[in-house]
Amino acid sequence: MSVAPAHGATGARTVPPLVRRLPLLAGAAVALVFGLWSGLQRLGVGVPELRWTLAALHGPLLVLGFLGTQIGLERAVALGRSWPYLAPAATAAGSLWLVLGLPVEAGRALLTAGGVALVAASVAVNRRQPGLPPAIMGLGAVAWSVGGVAWLAGARIAAGVPWLAAFLVLTIVGERLELSRVRRPSQRAVGALLAAIAVFLAGVALAGAAPGIGVRLAGAGLLAQAAWLARCDVALRTIRRPGAPRYMAAAMLAGTAWLAVAGAAWLVEGEFAGAGLAYDAMVHALFLGFVFSMVFAHAPVIVPAVLGVALPFTRAMYAPLALLQAGLAVRVAGDLAGAAEVARWGGVLDEVAIVLFVAVAVVAARRARRR
């Protein structure tokens, strides 16, 4: 994409990727801001209620609106074609639609359409580069689509949590498998990972009809995947290297630990109630502890690749990472102890950690641009 040359220029000037993708980034930013705001509402923090239905959209805005747009954008950039941008465009539009209070059914349909478009993009990626990692990530996109269809059919958001979890877990695990080729995992190790994923997906599929069995089975699959990452992930090697590799490895290993915590919670609890302290621990150990730790870890690599903006590592990135871990530890401890006030403050710390990470990243990117 290009614009007309500046006055006196002899050639066309290419529009930077950040500018071209600004509308999609705006949609993701809106989803993040209102997802965090609705999270404060759910925690019982005294923030103004912009709309009474906003608190119910906390999960979809963060998982599909923010993370779904980011993942869809990453997949579209990898393909280098126009049509895969339908996925992040649909999720960005769906987020704006829901935040504006327009008919919920259309917003759900847009978010679900984003998942379907991501499935198509994943198929295209797999045709270009066949292999297990893109296939696993494609299964994650399928899980998003299934959860979205269930939501459109009137299922409770809590009932779709296993499918949304599968979307993010399989996307991240597929990426980690791709990077683990540096360590050359054996066929036996790869087979163990596939078995863990199969157990996890079987549990997710059963969770709707038989929650007690399905959620526990999915929890066992999460534990098995965490054990595989703890043993085979390349982070075990890069943690010994200073600078960005050590920071990224520390974030990845922290995320792996929270994946194990989430798996244990699913295995013990066995059902998503949709509310309560046990549900809070089951959901946030995975979506905050595992997923956002991995987001923090991959940002220095993904942001330059997707947006064309340098994001050099800075030691300041350790501050939001540490705050995320501390806040979640407080939150889960409060959940387990039945102390709602303690859990509430842990949740607030986690939201501060996410905002702080965005601020650190923006400052680092601006300094790099000046240089």
Could you tell me the two tokens for 200? Answer: 């996890």
Q: Is residue 227 domain-resident?
A: no
| Closest to 24 measured CA to CA, from 105, 89, 79 | 89
For residue 149, pLDDT over 80 is answered with yes
Q: Is residue 125 domain-resident?
A: yes
Q: What is the DSSP string of 84-147?
A: GGHHHHHHHHHHHHHHTT--HHHHHHHHHHHHHHHHHHHHHHHHHS-SHHHHHHHHHHHHHHHH
DSSP single-letter state for residue 15: P
pLDDT at 348: 95
pLDDT tens digits, 267-320: 998 877 767 888 899 999 999 999 999 999 999 888 888 877 888 889 999 999
Q: Is residue 31 domain-resident?
A: yes
Q: Is residue 41 domain-resident?
A: yes
For residue 237, pLDDT over 90 is answered with no
Q: How confident is the model at residue 3 (pLDDT cuts 50, 70, 90)?
A: very low
Q: Is residue 337 domain-resident?
A: no
pLDDT at 187: 87
How far CA 166 is from CA of 106, 177, 199, 218, 370, in Å, comes to 24, 16, 12, 9, 40
For residue 353, pLDDT over 70 is answered with yes
- Domain containing 117: what range? 18-130
User: Whole-structure pTM over 0.85, yes or no?
Assistant: yes
pLDDT at 182: 60
Q: What domain count does the chain have?
A: 1
For the ranges 128-132, 152-156, 178-182, the one whose mean pLDDT is highest = 128-132
Q: Is residue 122 domain-resident?
A: yes
For residue 52, pLDDT over 70 is answered with no
For residue 10, pLDDT over 50 is answered with no
Q: How confident is the model at residue 209 (pLDDT cuts 50, 70, 90)?
A: confident
Q: Is residue 94 domain-resident?
A: yes
Q: What is the DSSP string of 204-229?
A: HHHTTT-HHHHHHHHHHHHHHHHHHH
